[in-house]
Amino acid sequence: MPGPGEFELIREYFSARFQASTGASGDQGVVLGIGDDCALLTPPAGKILATSVDTLVAGVHFPADARPDFIASRALRVNLSDLAAMNAEPLWFTLALTLRQSDPEWLEPFARGLAETAKQYGITLVGGDTTKGPLSITIQVTGACEKPLRRDGARAGDTIFVSNQLGASAAGLPLILRERDGSIKQKEQAYLAYHFPQPQFAVARAIGPYASSALDISDGLLGDLGHICAASKLGAELNLNDLPVAELAYSMNADTALETALTGGDDYQLCFTVPEKHLDIVQNLQLPITAIGTMHREPGIQCTLNGKSWQPRSTSYRHF
Ligand SMILES: [Mg+2]
């Protein structure tokens, strides 16, 4: 059991680790980092700040027995994905960590995984808090943008795109939870998709000047595209023959692969819309993106497969 002052040590532990990792681009604007009552930060001149917070609870948002460095990677990456989805460049983050006990064998790899991920994306830890209780991780990220990509900018006739492939994380979840066995290749694909989602900064930066709306797909394409529809007061039609379904979704279960790609969670790919006038430019940007449908005035999302109307069995995200 942690004694009084032990959580003070954790704070020291993170301070030391993250002060050693300074030099990332996000260090810009840090007047005073970890250690005082507040961090002191200077926003980049002329930019808009984007901020988002997310809590991940053990046993709800990640398996409690997952590797601590994997947990840290996922926790920071899912938050970074929200910055990417707004076309914001990462600057700073804060961490609130709730732990049952102060265990160096858990904390050391967790802090290392967090520092490695932070360094990779140029984001700097500027403050935090630790408390005692069931394991949960809250991260607040702040970034800066010039032209934010909002959900409410789509217009009827805009083309809908997604980045990369969908469905790998949801399809691989039974392997992560060890409910099912799979090949080494399948397990690798599942671990990469689930614990190392790739915030789509490069795609967001490239489409930023041309897209009319965007978000990151965290709860499944149908549900998240529904957010763009609701915010933009429109509907959508999707051609499922064009949907980029991840190889792992097919290899886990070919019968449900399409449904998994449409409604599974945790993809962290971008879904965005592009007006007709910018379509040629966006399609010639050499990006890993696929056009999958069109925004229209009629409410709701209509799906077509092989020229016929297609209904998913559910649109909800599976929490475990
Ligand atoms: Mg999001």
Read off the CATH number of the domain in which 262 is found. Answer: 3.90.650.10
How confident is the model over 48-65, as a mean pLDDT? 94
**Which pLDDT value is given to residue 146?**
94
**Which pLDDT value is given to residue 272?**
98
How confident is the model over 126-130, as a mean pLDDT? 88
Q: Round to whole Å and give the CA distance between 289 and 190.
A: 21
Residues 303 and 165 in one domain: yes
**Which pLDDT value is given to residue 69?**
96
Within a 10 A sphere around the Cβ of 283, how many other Cβ atoms? 14
**Which pLDDT value is given to residue 91?**
95
Residues 135 and 164 in one domain: no
Asked if pLDDT for residue 316 goes beyond 60, the answer is: no
Amino acid type, 117:
T
How confident is the model over 292-302, as a mean pLDDT? 96
* Gap from CA of 81 to ligand 1 centroid (Å): 7
How does pLDDT run across 226-259, given as a tens digit for each residue? Answer: 999 999 999 999 999 999 999 999 999 999 999 9
How does pLDDT run across 192-218, given as a tens digit for each residue? Answer: 999 999 999 999 999 999 999 999 999
Asked if pLDDT for residue 6 goes beyond 90, the answer is: no
Which residue, 145, 179, 209, sits at the end of a domain? Answer: 145
Domain that holds residue 58: 6-145
* Gap from CA of 267 to ligand 1 centroid (Å): 11
Which residues, other chains included, contact 254 with Cβ-Cβ below 8 Å and sequence gap of 6+? none
**Which pLDDT value is given to residue 320?**
44
Residues with a beta carbon under 5 angstroms from ion ligand 1: 82, 216
Q: How many domains does the chain have?
A: 2
Residues 163 and 305 in one domain: yes
Residues 168 and 306 in one domain: yes
Asked if pLDDT for residue 103 goes beyond 90, the answer is: no
Residues 190 and 140 in one domain: no
Q: Which position has the higher pLDDT, 68 or 14? A: 68
**Residue listed under structure tokens 């053990």:** 58
Asked if pLDDT for residue 260 goes beyond 80, the answer is: yes
Asked if pLDDT for residue 134 goes beyond 80, the answer is: yes
Q: Round to whole Å and give the CA distance between 240 and 38.
A: 49
* Gap from CA of 61 to ligand 1 centroid (Å): 15
Q: Round to whole Å and give the CA distance between 25 and 289.
A: 27
The secondary structure element, H or E, covering residue 125 is strand 124-132
Longest dimension (CA), the chain: 66
* Gap from CA of 269 to ligand 1 centroid (Å): 10
Quick one: which of 165, 164, 171 has its CA closest to 246? Answer: 165
Residues 122 and 173 in one domain: no
Task: Provide the mean pLDDT of the chain.
Answer: 91
Q: Is 315 a domain residue?
A: no
* Gap from CA of 82 to ligand 1 centroid (Å): 5
Residues 124 and 196 in one domain: no
* Gap from CA of 84 to ligand 1 centroid (Å): 9
Asked if pLDDT for residue 15 goes beyond 90, the answer is: no
Q: Is 282 in contact with 288 (CB distance < 8 Å)?
A: no
* Gap from CA of 211 to ligand 1 centroid (Å): 17
Alpha carbon 177 to its chain centroid, in Å, reads 20
Q: Is 247 in contact with 165 (CB distance < 8 Å)?
A: yes
Hey, what are 118's tokens?
Answer: 């932070």
Q: Is 40 in contact with 31 (CB distance < 8 Å)?
A: yes
Q: Sorting pLDDT into bands at 50, 70 and 90, what band is 314?
A: low
How confident is the model over 145-174, as a mean pLDDT? 96
Helix (H) and strand (E) counts in the chain: 10, 13
* Gap from CA of 258 to ligand 1 centroid (Å): 22
Within a 10 A sphere around the Cβ of 312, how many other Cβ atoms? 15
Q: What CATH number does residue 45 fall under?
A: 3.30.1330.10
If you ran DSSP here, which 8-state letter would residue 158 be given?
Answer: P
Residues 140 and 16 in one domain: yes
Asked if pLDDT for residue 37 goes beyond 90, the answer is: no
* Gap from CA of 264 to ligand 1 centroid (Å): 15
Strand partners, 96: 129, 138
Return phi, psi of residue 129, to 5°: -150, 145
Q: Round to whole Å and give the CA distance between 93 and 80.
A: 10
* Gap from CA of 120 to ligand 1 centroid (Å): 20
